[in-house]
Amino acid sequence: MNRLVKQLALTYLASSWRLRRRLEQLRRADAVTILSLHRVAPGDRSSYPPMDPQLFDRLLSFCKKRFEVVLFGDLAAGPKPRKPRLILSFDDGYKDFIDYAVPILEKHGLRANQNIIPACVEQGRPPLNVVAQDFIGKAPASLLAEVDVPGFGRIAGENREKIGQSVSAFIKNKPMREQNELADALLPQFERMDGFQPTPMMSRSEIGQIAGTHELGAHSFEHATMGVQDDDYVAEDARRCRDYFAEVLKLNTGIYAFPNGSYRAEHPALVRAAGFETILLVDGDFSSASHRDHPRFNIFGTSDRELRFRATGGMRKI
């Protein structure tokens, strides 16, 4: 029943006439729509499913036709465009960006923002909550039932995607000190699965390959949920990201994206003091060329209608 209601709602919400009306409102308001994406890849049994490449391809066709697709560095340049502006903003730096998303972007002649996590580049694995979601989706049921998450308990239930979301939220909403303690307890349990490999991350050299085309930013140093960290941690994190780009990647960036949609009101100023000019949030709202702190829309879905609905801001008032 829920699936049927959703399909009926999207028939209206993603109808051609409603989308045309939304796009005209966006153009008149000179609003900038920023889509926050993560993985684009064929299904790999992770409980954190990626966006199907064919869906991503069709999403880009829609965006290219209906929007002026730009980068953050383009916002201040030139006159007001004839179409509303949109930015494709990827977080985390998964290897599937270079394997799947980049070829599709090239096909459409589009560029994107990609915000990488230095610690994940160096470790070669994603944040702990994503490793957990990978394991929960792929592990044999007998092994999954044996896993104990300290403070959460045993993993139980048949819907692995929902279980993965619950465990992920439990992990990522803790301070990094506690996440590191959880890693010490969980990684040895995950390694009991023969051949288990978490979602691959881009390497330094792969980041260098895309740096001349796509717009790079930092997604914190180790993917901390900043709302549960103190101000000193946030300020130091921004400095570490700045130094990593300059000294390790030999690149400059003025973009910093807060992880997990979490920050406090004073945090953007702390990050800006470290030299980052463009601050990316989530917040599910439209932005504008004059903003320095840019809200973004998380975009996900399993159908063209759902993605088009989300790509035009969903139900958010313009």
Q: Specify the pLDDT at position 19.
A: 92
Residue 3 in this model has a pLDDT that exceeds 80: no
**What are the pLDDT digits (tens) for 201-249?**
999 999 999 999 999 999 999 999 999 999 999 999 999 999 999 999 9
pLDDT digits (tens, 9 = 90+) for 258-312: 999 999 999 999 999 999 999 999 999 999 999 989 999 999 999 999 999 999 9
Q: What is the per-residue pLDDT for 35?
A: 98
Q: Tokens 């790509």 map to which residue?
A: 311
Residue of 14 and 152 predicted with greater confidence: 152
8 Å CB contact between 190 and 224: no
Backbone angles phi, psi at 17, to 5 degrees: -70, -35
> Which residues make Cβ contacts (< 8 Å) with residue 113, sequence separation at least 6?
71, 72, 87, 88, 89, 90, 214, 215, 216, 217, 255, 280
Confidence band, pLDDT 50/70/90 cuts, at residue 315: very high
Report pLDDT for 40: 98
**Chain Cα centroid distance, residue 139:** 24
Phi then psi dihedrals of residue 83, to 5 deg: -115, 155
Asked whether the CA dihedral 8, 11, 17, 23 is positive or negative, the reply is positive
Q: For residue 243, with 0-12 CB atoms within 10 Å meaning exposed, 13-18 middle and 19 or more buried, which class applies? A: middle
Contact yes or no for 139/132 (Cβ under 8 A): no
pLDDT value of position 2: 66
pLDDT, residue 230, reads 97
How confident is the model over 55-85, as pLDDT tens digits?
999 999 999 999 999 999 999 876 778 899 9
pLDDT score, position 79: 72
pLDDT, residue 4, reads 63
pLDDT in tens, 133-175: 999 999 999 999 999 999 999 987 889 999 999 999 999 999 9
Handedness of CA 263, 264, 269, 271 (dihedral sign): negative
pLDDT at residue 1 greater than cutoff 60: no
Does 7 have pLDDT greater than 80?
Answer: no
Domains by residue range for the chain, with CATH: 2-123+199-311 (3.20.20.370), 128-190 (no CATH)
> For position 78, what pLDDT does the model report?
67
Q: Please give the pLDDT value at position 11.
A: 77
Confidence (pLDDT) at 10: 84
Q: How confident is the model at residue 52 (pLDDT cuts 50, 70, 90)?
A: very high
- At residue 5, the pLDDT reads 60
